[in-house]
Structure 1
Amino acid sequence: MNLIFDILWLAVIVIYSCVEALVKLFIPVKRKSVSGEIVLITGAGHGIGRLTAYEFAKRHSTLVLWDINKHGVEETAERCRKLGARAHAFVVDCSIREDIYSAAEKVKRHIGDVSILVNNAGVVTTADLLSTQDKQIEKTFEVNILAHYWTTKMFLPAMMKNNHGHIVTVASAAGHVTVPFLVSYCSSKFAAVGFHKSLTEELAALGKDGIKTTCLCPYFINNDFLKNLSTRLVPVVEPENVVANLMDGILCNQKMIFVPRSLKCHLLAERILPERALGAFIDLLKIKFDAAVQCERKQD
């Protein structure tokens, strides 16, 4: 009898959720304020991390900026100060756990409890698996996913104590669909998406509804990560567009962000198309970039 009731209750929740989602398409969601929040962004010395820092600075957050590049992160911090925000720059190697723990202790001691954590730092190696060096594989996982564990373990306790905070995982569309010659990168981003989903469920199970989570999954971005990148059908996205979507998602407590939104169709195709049809669809996209294949240089 309880099972029947639970199934009926599930049906009610599904219908209510669908109606709610439909309504939200026409009624703007209220955006939260991040003024006064202490925001830590890894990989803040360039690209998505830098632009995200600028957006938080405009909203009067206190910025804690981490990057391995001293010049880059200090430049970002200076620009944030000119935008009227307090900004603190730290040189941190996110591939080294001890470096993360040491910097985190300094942040907590001298600045305060981080309430918004943006795990953005990332690296990529473009090569087939056999051409990828062991150290490159290890570093990809150390930066792209293990660092998320270490930063979260350092700053989550204060968020849980206050039942307030936001953890942002910058993943990738490559965390949902795979691309040849990016095996270690795609694997690390699949792990990042899994980290976000598992952490979200765990916080819900612990009753910490005041701690929000967001995962960003953009398509290929127009930056210097991939050389001579070109695609068909789905355009390469500009960093500014990605950050605009990310900020909207954070301010509206959106859990999963795809840029562009049409990526959802690609994910649906991945799940429902027969293998041969899916292969033909991927061929149609014609994703190309420079990659090392064994001892040769090849664009594919």
Structure 2
Amino acid sequence: MSSTSCEEEAIKRQTSDASSFATNQRTTNKCGKESKEQKKVKKMNIFIEILFLIRDIFVAFVESWWRFFIPPNSKSVKGEIVLITGSANGIGRALAVEFAKLGSIVVLWDIDGKQNQITADMIKEVGGVAYTYYCDVSQRKQIYEVGARVKKDVGDVTILVNNAGVVIGSGFMNCPDDEVLNSFNVNVLSYFWTVKYFLPKMIENNHGHIVNMSSSLGLTGLNKLTDYCSTKFAVNGFHEVLTYELKHDKHNGVKTTLICPQCVDTDLFKGCRIRYPSLCPFMDVDYVVQKSIKAILTDQYIICLPRLVYFQAAIKSILPTDCWIEICTFLGTMTFMDSFIGNKKKCKC
């Protein structure tokens, strides 16, 4: 190859390299401009989303206040299959009778067969239909086994009321390990297993209601109730996140209600006393049940009884811990459990 040909080839390569560099540079500049434009678009989209968020918050706030002053119409539960745990006495029994009056088919779960049958007889007296089952809700396998029997005998549960509960009633260091485990099995884990078993059919039909019985002690703790308060705080968290999941997955036909009563006149906290009963009186079971039924029928997310509980929870979250402890000491809640004589093994919420 001649020297002239080599020079021409070298010039061609240089020209080609320069052209490629220029092309790449233009592409880079173009990409850079597009990236900036995309950033502007993203910022604009975020701004628009914030505007919509403000609108949605305002609408939700107005709707909430509207529901507060003008409750929505109650839904019908006639023909619904309602399963209630801890139905042998207290709130569970009263809820069962009320659902029966409304035309629901009631399924009763408890470990006290004799008292559970009395609940069934009370339902029959008001013209209702009841099915009784022995079920120790502290046992996961038993929940699933009895749940399968209910499906076969009665049908698919459409309203689940997790109500069973126990309390030890001693200071933390005096709580036996096996009773602590039992408290969590009954008061918390049983909620997981019952919901896990009955929820799939509710989701499939986009129809159902899960009611979780908690307590004001799941919002504000109480001295010498380490086991009970811990389980009720857990129930509140379980209920909250379960609701988020149902909302996020668009299962709008499956409703949830959390019930948080403060002091109810049942055997659960028998013998307990507070310094100023007029500020926090023990509520009658029928009153709590009527309010709870109303909340369920109107698909209310949470109900605290009395309304003072909402205020207490808000104040506790704002005040320093030492300030809250001083208030509790003044009100006598620190010594609330000192006179406790309740039956810690068999009581139901």
TM-score, structure 1 length as denominator? 0.94
Match of 1:157 in 2: 200
Q: Aligned letter for 1:173?
A: S
Secondary structure of the residue aligned to 2:212 is strand
Contact 1:176-1:190 at 8 Å conserved across structures? yes
Greater alpha carbon shift after TM alignment, 265-274 vs 35-44: 265-274
Distance 1:4 1:261 in 2: 38
Q: Aligned letter for 2:287?
A: N
Match of 2:313 in 1: 267
2:338 alignment partner, one of 286, 290, 294: 290
Match of 1:86 in 2: 129
Distance 2:321 2:144 in 1: 44
Q: CA deviation at 1:20?
A: 1.9
What per-residue deviation string (whole Å, max 9, x for no partner) do you get for residues 49-103 of structure 1?
A: 0000011010010000000000011110111112111100011111111111111
Q: Aligned letter for 2:177?
A: D
Are 1:186 and 2:229 matched, yes or no? Answer: yes
Contact 1:127-1:291 at 8 Å conserved across structures? no
Distance 1:176 1:14 in 2: 24
Aligned residues: 292
Are 1:253 and 2:296 matched, yes or no? Answer: no
Distance 2:81 2:321 in 1: 47
Are 1:196 and 2:244 matched, yes or no? Answer: no
Secondary structure of the residue aligned to 1:214 is strand
Give the 5 Å matches for 1:1-300: 1-231=44-274, 232=276, 233-287=279-333, 288-290=336-338
Q: Aligned letter for 1:180?
A: N
Distance 2:45 2:291 in 1: 42
Structure 2 portions without partners, runs of 5+: 1-43, 341-349
Contact 1:128-1:291 at 8 Å conserved across structures? no
Secondary structure of the residue aligned to 1:117 is strand
Secondary structure of the residue aligned to 2:156 is coil
Match of 2:343 in 1: none
Q: CA deviation at 1:228?
A: 2.0
Greater alpha carbon shift after TM alignment, 279-288 vs 255-264: 279-288
CA RMSD of aligned residues (A): 1.3
Contact 1:216-1:258 at 8 Å conserved across structures? yes
Distance 2:256 2:71 in 1: 20
Q: Aligned letter for 2:127?
A: G
Distance 1:195 1:275 in 2: 25
Q: CA deviation at 1:291?
A: 6.5
Greater alpha carbon shift after TM alignment, 77-86 vs 250-259: 77-86
What per-residue deviation string (whole Å, max 9, x for no partner) do you get for residues 124-152 of structure 1?
A: 01111111000110000000010011111
Task: Choose 1 or 2 for highest CA Rg.
Answer: 2
Q: CA deviation at 1:272?
A: 0.8
Question: Which structure 1 residue ranges, 4+ long, deviate > 4 Å from structure 2?
Answer: none
Distance 2:329 2:172 in 1: 21
What per-residue deviation string (whole Å, max 9, x for no partner) do you get for residues 241-283 of structure 1?
A: 1111110110000011100011111001111112232122212
TM-score, structure 2 length as denominator? 0.81
Structure 1 portions without partners, runs of 5+: 293-300
